[in-house]
Amino acid sequence: MNTKVQYDKMTKRIFFYTFGCKVNQVEIDNLKEKALNSGYTISEDLKHTDIVVINSCTVTDKADKKFHSLIRKIKKNHPDVTIVTTGCLPEIEKNLEDSDIIVPNKHKEDLFQYIGNEGSGENAKNSIIKNKGTSGSAGKTRAFIKIQDGCDSYCSYCIIPFARGNLKSRDPKSIKAEFEEKLKEGYREVVLVGIHIGNYGKDAHVSFSELVEELVQMPGDFRIRLSSIEVTEIDDRLIDLFEKYPRKICRHLHIPIQSATDKILYLMNRKYTVSEFSQTVKKIRSRLKDVNIGTDVIVGFPSETKEDFDNTVYNLYHMNFGYIHVFPYSERKGTKAAGMKDVVPPKIRKERAKFLRGVSEDLKFSYSKKYFGKKVRVLVESDGKGLTDSYLTVNLLNYAEKNTFVHAHIIGINIDGSLMGKVIDDQ
């Protein structure tokens, strides 16, 4: 905990800025809610604010550079603004002299107490799990619930376990209460998020599947979407729930593979082989015929040869993913991978990433075209646009009320894989 200035509580205007993952976004939305409840005003303009709260990310060196670039710009253009830094970066980089107040990740939920008490933190408690973990904005159809924090995997390229610490599961009763609250507020889709959601409950003698089963049995017309989950954490009980509650659990799984060659997976310290990953994907598809399975891939990892990359491309096509999120490898100081030999030149990383994004476009279009001529259930999220449970955007050709479920007959597929549909009176 570090402060350099005395903060006047009469200053009310706060500008929030967040980097990084969906969990960071959930946390910043939660802080905005706390700010309003504490009597602050949220500013949308740096020119008209007194405090800037930055929720930092440190997953790559690029993320660090973006943070430092932003903070220098704020200091230069708005020298009277108080800068509060929280998030993952302070856990890794201790010398953040441009920040006026530094709040560690574990005390993020107590941020306003630190500001109000000039950062003394004498009465602060680690309430990141105990307090609310939900977010949702007015006018939106989707709410996010953070169910856990931290990670115990220690992949060789990842700094997150050092930045967020080990697994910390939120109390299931608290999650259920927040879930019920969001349904009462009218949200039709709730996304379960965390750093490592499939590990939920391992520190509390409950399983992720048990949590999902309790949530899905709540009354109401809603659906649950799972954020990224590891292949080793998809058990038969979870697949059973997808089968048993087809309208309540979205037929969409994002399962990061990171590489589709065993040599690189070993160097990454991933906990499976390509064959094991593929077998799980086959099992899922054998039971959930129309499921959309997406993945993450890092290209240009140290020691990745052209042959390794070609094998990865072949295996990705073979596993027939619905889409791929592609990341060129970025060294992160403090990780095991940063010291590895046989570094792939940045130019080659960029070329491989570009090629693989083309593969992703092919796969997405191939998956989407299966819906041509079919009827799909759509959650209307904005005027003229909605989302299927399989995570496909549908451009609606006739009117449908926002935040309602409708059925649409698909009459076209766009080049980007989005669908064109006509709302039909068949509920």
Q: Provide the pLDDT confidence category of residue 377 given band limits of 50, 70 and 90.
A: very high
The ranges assigned to domains in the chain are: 2-116, 129-250, 251-370, 372-424
Q: Which of 403, 410, 412, 408 is nearest to 426 (CA)?
A: 408
The pair of three-digit structure tokens given for residue 318, joined into one six-digit string: 């073979």
The whole-number average pLDDT for the span 242-263 is 96
Report whether pLDDT(115) > 80: no
The whole-number average pLDDT for the span 26-52 is 81
pLDDT recorded at residue 5: 40
d(CA 331, CA 381): 38
d(CA 383, CA 370): 25
Exposed/middle/buried for residue 420 (C-beta within 10 Å: 0-12, 13-18, 19+): middle
d(CA 11, CA 41): 9
The whole-number average pLDDT for the span 410-423 is 95
Percent of the chain with pLDDT over 90: 57
The answer to whether 300 and 348 are in contact (CB under 8 A) is yes
Total residues found in the chain within this entry: 427
d(CA 237, CA 422): 36
pLDDT recorded at residue 426: 66
Give the DSSP letter string of 285-339.
HHH-TT-EEEEEEEES-TT--HHHHHHHHHHHHHHT-SEEEEEE----TTSGGGG
The whole-number average pLDDT for the span 231-253 is 96
Are 2-116 and 251-370 in the same CATH fold?
no
Which range is least confidently modeled, 131-145, 249-263, 385-399?
Answer: 131-145
Q: Mean pLDDT highest for which of 143-147, 170-174, 274-278? A: 274-278
On average, the pLDDT of the chain sits at 86
Which strands form 13-18's sheet, in the order they lie side by side?
A: 2-3, 101-102, 82-87, 51-56, 13-18, 41-42
The pair of three-digit structure tokens given for residue 253, joined into one six-digit string: 């799984």
pLDDT recorded at residue 378: 96
pLDDT in tens, 13-27: 888 888 877 777 787
Q: Which of 33, 80, 27 is nearest to 57 (CA)?
A: 27
Q: What is the CATH number of domain 2-116?
A: 3.40.50.2300
The answer to whether 87 and 110 are in contact (CB under 8 A) is no
pLDDT recorded at residue 6: 41
Q: Provide the pLDDT confidence category of residue 69 given band limits of 50, 70 and 90.
A: confident
Exposed/middle/buried for residue 133 (C-beta within 10 Å: 0-12, 13-18, 19+): buried
Q: Which of 388, 397, 375 is nearest to 417 (CA)?
A: 388
pLDDT recorded at residue 84: 86
Report whether pLDDT(238) > 80: yes
The better pLDDT of the pair 150, 277 is held by: 277
Percent of the chain with pLDDT over 70: 90
The whole-number average pLDDT for the span 355-376 is 96
Phi/psi at 312 (5° precision)? -60, -45
Superfamily of domain 372-424: Nucleic acid-binding proteins (2.40.50.140)
Question: ∠ CA(18), CA(22), CA(26), 5° rounding?
Answer: 70
d(CA 191, CA 142): 7
The answer to whether 29 and 62 are in contact (CB under 8 A) is no
Which range is least confidently modeled, 65-69, 169-173, 177-181, 361-365?
Answer: 65-69
pLDDT recorded at residue 118: 42
pLDDT recorded at residue 190: 95
Q: Provide the pLDDT confidence category of residue 308 given band limits of 50, 70 and 90.
A: very high
Q: Provide the pLDDT confidence category of residue 116 given band limits of 50, 70 and 90.
A: low
Give the DSSP letter string of 109-154.
GGHHHHHHTTT--TT----TTTS--EE--TT-SEEEEEEEE-----
CATH architecture of the domain with residue range 251-370: 2-Layer Sandwich (3.30)
pLDDT recorded at residue 345: 97
- Which are the contacts of 51, defined by CB distance < 8 A and separation ≥ 6? 7, 11, 13, 14, 15, 81, 82, 83, 84, 115
d(CA 360, CA 354): 10
pLDDT recorded at residue 55: 85
Strand ranges in 156-315 using DSSP code E only, listed in sequence order: 168-169, 189-194, 223-226, 252-254, 292-299
Protein fold of 129-250:
Transcription Regulator spoIIAA (3.30.750)
Q: What is the DSSP letter of 126?
A: -
Terminal CA-CA length for the chain: 55
Prediction pTM value: 0.78
pLDDT in tens, 146-198: 999 888 889 999 888 887 788 899 999 999 999 999 999 999 999 999 988 99
Q: What is the DSSP letter of 258?
A: B
Report whether pLDDT(339) > 50: yes
Q: Mean pLDDT highest for which of 11-20, 26-35, 406-415? A: 406-415
pLDDT recorded at residue 195: 87
pLDDT recorded at residue 94: 66
pLDDT recorded at residue 75: 82
Which range is least confidently modeled, 30-44, 89-103, 114-128, 250-264?
Answer: 114-128
